[in-house]
Amino acid sequence: MRLSTGHRDNAAFANVTPNYSLCYTHFINPVFDKAIKQLPFLFKVPNLPTLLTIQTSCMQNVRLYMLLLGSTPKGRHIEQHDIYFGIAENLKSLVPGIVASWPEAEGKIHIDAWREVTAVDGFTITVKEKNTDAAEVKPGENNSPKLFFINMGGYKQNEFEEYHYKMLTVAKDKGAAIQQAKQTAFYKHTGFKTAESHIDDKYGVDVDDIYAIEDILPDALKQQYTLIISPNAEAVADEIHLGYFKLEKL
């Protein structure tokens, strides 16, 4: 995922009053100004430096969200898709991060599917603000479970298409996560000789530098939050919301 980096300028945002509360740090670059202006519900800050980090106070009840984004950027012939993970109090609060993550779309982005990630493979997933004063067990340390996103690709004979199956899984490491992915019906039944199903991308959702996996959470969220993965055989499966959701209508 793409995210601009920046620096804080307390004087620049001391008087900022957004019209809704953000629950994470996000970055706005003047390069995206055109896209930002097209979204009237986003707040505007005068005299922004070249790169500015804006941070508002975070509410207590934040969640991990998984979104399927769609857009047809200039020069593309068909709709493009990407997966976005964010942490916020509600879906609307994710919008600035979504826009910043896909600058080529110039703000013309919609959501095709989304879920609050609270239950995966018999585990409860919760978000906790990091405690900088005490040592914490990080996901993957001491054989603790870790949350993975896996995107699988496959083919069907005589169909001009690559099909995809996206999944979250809890495992102790990348190898175990891939083995779990290979047990899915999609992996076993999508594909044929010379065009077998394959694992397209492997991302750790909550990763720090000790893992050789590309991190899919924006750096600002990694610095502020950690995921708590707890066994819970009675965890209720997440509701998956499907449809065409315009950002300005959230």
> What CATH number is associated with residue 57?
3.10.20.10
Looking at the fold, whether 48 and 87 belong to one and the same domain comes out as: yes
**Exposed / middle / buried, residue 38 (Cβ in 10 Å: 0-12, 13-18, 19+):** middle
Looking at the fold, whether 88 and 124 belong to one and the same domain comes out as: no
Alpha-carbon distance of 126 to 230, in angstroms, equals: 8
List the single range of 66-80, 137-151, 223-237 with lowest mean pLDDT: 137-151
Domain that holds residue 191: 119-234
Looking at the fold, whether 55 and 134 belong to one and the same domain comes out as: no
User: Residues of the chain with pLDDT > 70: what percent?
Assistant: 66
Looking at the fold, whether 159 and 249 belong to one and the same domain comes out as: no
Looking at the fold, whether 34 and 67 belong to one and the same domain comes out as: yes
Average pLDDT, the chain: 74
Looking at the fold, whether 140 and 153 belong to one and the same domain comes out as: yes
Looking at the fold, whether 112 and 2 belong to one and the same domain comes out as: yes
Split into its structural domains, the chain has a count of: 2
Alpha-carbon distance of 219 to 207, in angstroms, equals: 10
Looking at the fold, whether 194 and 247 belong to one and the same domain comes out as: no
Query: Measured between alpha carbons, how far is residue 55 from residues 132, 161, 200, 231 in Å?
Result: 18, 42, 34, 33
pLDDT in tens, 187-223: 888 887 888 778 776 554 433 222 323 357 888 888 8
